[in-house]
A and B are shown apart, each in its own frame.
Chain A
Amino acid sequence: MTFAERMLRIDRRIIFLVIGLCTLVPLLFPVGLPIKISSEVRGVYDYIEGLPEGSVFLLSLDFDPASKPELYPQAIAILRHAFKKNLRVVAMTLWVSGTGLADQILTQTAKEAGKENGRDYVFLGWSPGGSAVILNMGQDLYNAFPADYGGKATKGLPVLAGVQNLRDVTYAVSLGAGNPGVEAWYVFGKDKYKFELGGGCTGVIAPGLYPLLRSGQINGLIGGLRGAAEYETLIGQKGKAVAGMDAQSATHLAIIVLVAICNIFYFSLRRQQRRQDGIGS
């Protein structure tokens, strides 16, 4: 077997080791390169920035622990922004396995911002049905969530004063890792009940949401860890996302180098084979 053939059939574990090092080393020794802000992320940021104090902001944390690395920093950054603007935050989740994580995120950021449960924010928790929950909330929020996650009756909560259903929500953002997620919130929520909608998602599904962004169905899109890093930069509070960008940079570069090496060996092997075929004939 020639060197080129050996390199093309290299053990996967060597590649895994390279990726592992590219992820670990920048986390231990961060560089901190500047992050350019995209118009997609700015769309969400500018809208929240423009909301008057006391506006009702609905945040649906539609992800489970598997998507934590990308969507957790997005959730933290958006909540910090919302609390800084003194918006009334109504949080919920459509994914049962994400309930504990969503509760933890909200409690942590609310405590940081000195916000009170029931007065400044509420966590509605999870209700079965996926998109059916959105429809229910569109009719009557208190029917869909008669009690919050802590068991307190939602009717009468100061944070929900004047809110009967989704039509009374000023802005909603869905941080989605799949289905139900941003698309479900548009189809069953914004399209029927006419509130403004923004989206956040994992990097892999972000390209699929660009048609919604381009047509104005969502007014902004925070895509993956890069989107979270951009949002952290905008609010001036750098966190896990910005820290993770160095690792992501190194990993992307490693993959590009690996692909380049693979192609060099591929073409070299092809040239060798052509030469041999030429000699043979």
Chain B
Amino acid sequence: MIFLRRQLPLLITMITGLVMAAQYYVPHPASEQLLTTVTKWLQIIGGFALVLGITSLFHVHASKIRRKEAGWAYSLVLYVGMLGTIIVGLWNNGKESLDGALTSFGWVYSYTLVPLQGTMFAILAFFIASAAYRSFRARSREAAVLLVAAVVVMMGRVPLGEYILPLSGDLSSWILNVLNASVRRAILIGVSLGAVALSFKIIFGVERSYLGGGKE
């Protein structure tokens, strides 16, 4: 049992990790074919994993409905919404439109998903303002520098700002192209090194926390 839960997954991880790392340096069509096959398998496994997720979702909300916990009606709405969309989607073969006309699946997409997602994203504008009001205070020298840079970029990115302060356009472009790009590169290098180190540890079995279970 230990072999199946620990040794075998570690062995699979090591072999697959080394093969896929080597694949990057091999231009032969066989190597490209291997990559294509592995990514297809990844898609298939991902599909099965969705079953796992949906089962969990159903289970959580089914027990909420059964025990009539607070807000159980919303769980019922979730059931109706999910099953309804699946049925309608299968009925229309996943197509939102047919010969220019909106299908029922397309109706669900255009009149529920699109406005709901748009609404959620639109809330960000309000939250940015309230977060900025709460936290953009020049508590220290560094905070003051951040504040000035933020104001310059906010002015420079809109026509009204450039009209009021013509220099803000060029200044914000310089901040984005020079200061911002160099700092992003630094973070990117650090993060990439971290990712490479973590990958090495996982491939060689040094890092095993992703398997769950305790230390041996």
Direct A/B contact, Cβ within 8 angstroms = yes
Q: Tell me the A residues contacting B by CB distance below 8 Å.
A: 10, 12, 15-16, 18-20, 23, 31, 33-36, 38, 64-69, 97, 99-101, 103-104, 107, 128-129, 131-132, 135-136, 139, 203, 206-208, 210-211, 213-214, 224, 226, 245-246, 248-256, 258-259, 262-263, 266-267
B160 touches A253 (CB 8 A): yes
B163 at interface, CB cutoff 8 A? yes
Complex Cα distance A107/B97, Å?
11
B39 touches A132 (CB 8 A): yes
Chain B, Cβ-Cβ closest to A19: B129
CB distance from B186 to the nearest CB of A (A): 10
Chain A, Cβ-Cβ closest to B124: A204
CB distance from A121 to the nearest CB of B (A): 15
B86 at interface, CB cutoff 8 A? no
Contact among A12, A38, A131, A203 with B130 in the assembled complex (CB-CB below 8 Å): A12
Residues B139-166 near A (CB distance < 8 A)? 147, 150-151, 154-155, 157-163
Interface of A (DSSP majority class): helix
Complex Cα distance A32/B188, Å?
39
Contact among B43, B114, B129 with A128 in the assembled complex (CB-CB below 8 Å): B43
* Chain A residues within 8 Å of B122, by CB: 69
A252 touches B157 (CB 8 A): yes
8 contacts between A and B (CB under 8 A): A19-B125, A34-B163, A65-B118, A67-B121, A211-B181, A251-B125, A253-B161, A255-B154
Given contacts A100-B96, A128-B43, contact A16 B154 (CB under 8 A): no
Complex Cα distance A131/B125, Å?
30
Which of B11-19, B172-180, B207-215 lines the interface with chain A? B172-180
Contact among A33, A99, A259 with B132 in the assembled complex (CB-CB below 8 Å): A259
Given A65-B115, A262-B136, 15 new contacts (CB under 8 A) = A16-B130, A19-B126, A34-B163, A68-B118, A97-B113, A139-B32, A206-B176, A210-B184, A211-B185, A211-B188, A226-B158, A253-B160, A253-B161, A255-B129, A259-B132
Given contacts A15-B130, A129-B40, contact A256 B155 (CB under 8 A): yes
* Chain B residues within 8 Å of A206, by CB: 176
B96 touches A99 (CB 8 A): yes
Complex Cα distance A256/B27, Å?
53
Complex Cα distance A267/B147, Å?
14
A69 touches B121 (CB 8 A): yes
Chain B, Cβ-Cβ closest to A111: B100
Contact among A136, A224, A256, A263 with B36 in the assembled complex (CB-CB below 8 Å): A136
B128 at interface, CB cutoff 8 A? yes
B110 at interface, CB cutoff 8 A? yes
Interface of B (DSSP majority class): helix
Chain B, Cβ-Cβ closest to A70: B121
Interface bits B61-102 vs A (CB < 8 Å: 1, else 0): 000000000000000000000000000000000001100100
* Chain A residues within 8 Å of B121, by CB: 66-67, 69
CB distance from A143 to the nearest CB of B (A): 8
Q: Tell me the B residues contacting A by CB distance below 8 Å.
A: 32-33, 35-36, 39-40, 42-43, 46-47, 96-97, 100, 106, 109-110, 113-115, 117-118, 120-122, 125-126, 128-130, 132-134, 136-138, 147, 150-151, 154-155, 157-163, 169, 173, 176-177, 180-181, 184-185, 188
Complex Cα distance A254/B130, Å?
11
Complex Cα distance A94/B161, Å?
36
Complex Cα distance A139/B97, Å?
30
* Chain A residues within 8 Å of B160, by CB: 31, 33, 246, 249-250, 252-253
Given contacts A139-B32, A249-B160, contact A65 B114 (CB under 8 A): yes
CB distance from A175 to the nearest CB of B (A): 15
Chain A, Cβ-Cβ closest to B157: A226
A38 touches B173 (CB 8 A): yes
Chain B, Cβ-Cβ closest to A126: B94
A128 touches B47 (CB 8 A): yes
Given contacts A103-B97, A210-B176, A211-B185, contact A135 B47 (CB under 8 A): no
* Chain B residues within 8 Å of A136, by CB: 36, 39
* Chain A residues within 8 Å of B163, by CB: 33-34
Contact among A66, A107, A128, A207 with B100 in the assembled complex (CB-CB below 8 Å): A107
Chain B, Cβ-Cβ closest to A267: B138
Given contacts A15-B126, A100-B96, A100-B97, contact A65 B113 (CB under 8 A): yes
B188 touches A15 (CB 8 A): no
Complex Cα distance A20/B127, Å?
12
CB distance from A41 to the nearest CB of B (A): 11
Complex Cα distance A10/B39, Å?
52
Complex Cα distance A249/B158, Å?
5
A129 touches B43 (CB 8 A): yes
